[in-house]
Copies of this chain bind each other. A is one copy, B any other.
Amino acid sequence: MSAPTRSRLAPDERRDQLLELGVSLLADRPLEALTIDLLAEQGGISRGLLYHYFGSKQAFHLAVVRRAADDLIARTAPPAHGDPLERLHTGTVAYVDYVLASYDGYVSLVRGAAGGNAELREIYEEVRAALSDRIFDEDPDGLLVTDTPAHRLLVRGWTAMVEELVLAWAADERAGRARLTRAELDGLVVGALPALLAAAP
Seen from chain A, the residues whose Cβ lies within 8 Å of a Cβ on chain B are 110-116, 149-150, 153-154, 156-165, 168-169, 179-180, 184-185, 187-188, 191-192, 194-196, 198-201
Let me know if A198 and B201 touch, CB within 8 A. no
- Collect the chain B residues with CB atoms within 8 Å of residue A184's CB: 150, 201
Partner of A200, one of B110, B161, B188: B188
A162, A165, A198 pick with most chain B CB within 10 angstroms: A165
Q: Is the CB of A157 within 8 A of B153?
A: no
In the assembled complex, the CB of A132 is this many whole angstroms from the nearest CB of chain B, namely: 10
Number of copies: 2
- Least Cβ–Cβ distance between A131 and chain B, in angstroms: 13
Chain B residue numbers with a CB within 8 Å of A162 are 157
| B residues near A188, Cβ cutoff 8 Å | 150, 153-154, 157, 200-201
Chain B residues with Cβ under 8 A from A191's Cβ?
199-200
Within 8 Å by CB of A116, from B115, B159, B179, lies B115
Q: How far is the CA of A11 from the CA of B113 in the complex (A)?
A: 41
**Which residue from B110, B111, B196 sits with its C-beta under 8 Å from A192?**
B196
In the assembled complex, which residues on chain B have CB atoms less than 8 Å from the CB atom of A159?
164
Instruction: Give every chain B residue within 8 A of A154 (Cβ-Cβ).
Output: 165, 188, 192
Residues of B within 8 A of A180 (CB): 149-150, 153
Q: Closest CB-CB distance, A5 to chain B, in whole Å?
A: 39
A191 nearest CB neighbor, chain B only: B199
| Min distance, Cβ A148 to any Cβ of chain B, angstroms | 9
**In the assembly, what is the distance between CA of A157 and CA of B190, in Å?**
13
Bound-state Cα–Cα, A116 to B200, Å: 35
Partner of A110, one of B114, B157, B163, B194: B114
